[in-house]
Amino acid sequence: MPMMLPAAQAVVPFISTISNHYLILESEVICDIPGKAADAEWRASLDEFLSSIELALTGAGVAMQAKTMVFLNPEETVVHRYIVHLQLDGAFEPSKIAELLSNTAAEISLHTPEHRLKYSPCFTDQVVTFVIEAGV
């Protein structure tokens, strides 16, 4: 279970920042985890891993609905990636969301420099997509 807390720590602050300004109808987090990092203990607690992230988002009122998926990456890497899709309610300003994410990344890097926003966010209709990397 050691990877549950870091996953929530990597994802929740970014999503929470956006939820302070916009209503998030649904969040989807795809966890791209190095296969070598998923030992037997972690695999045995996979359901708890998934539900802990979803609970962190819905329980705190950050998103109305949340779903989490895991992709075990066969590449030789130690980097964990979290691909986040947020469906927002109503109109939003892409530049404001990009600024919010950038500010959150700068703030987080002061405490945990291994967590970073990988790319500029993408916008399609009412969906915002961004990627967070967390080195271990």
Average pLDDT value over all residues in the chain:
84
Q: Domain containing 9: what range?
A: 4-134
CB 42, CB 1: distance < 8 Å:
yes
pLDDT reported for residue 7 = 65
Q: Bridge partners of 124? A: 127
- Summarize the confidence of residues 104-124 as an average pLDDT: 89
Position with higher pLDDT, 70 vs 101: 101
Q: Give residue 6's pLDDT.
A: 61
pTM of structure: 0.84
Distance CA 108, CA 127 (A): 23
What's the number of domains the chain is made of? 1
Which of residues 119 and 44 earns the better pLDDT score?
119
| pLDDT category of residue 104 using cuts at 50, 70 and 90 | very high
Q: What is the CATH number of the domain that holds 119?
A: 3.30.360.10
Strand partners, 27: 66, 86
pLDDT in tens, 15-50: 889 999 999 999 999 888 888 777 788 777 777 777
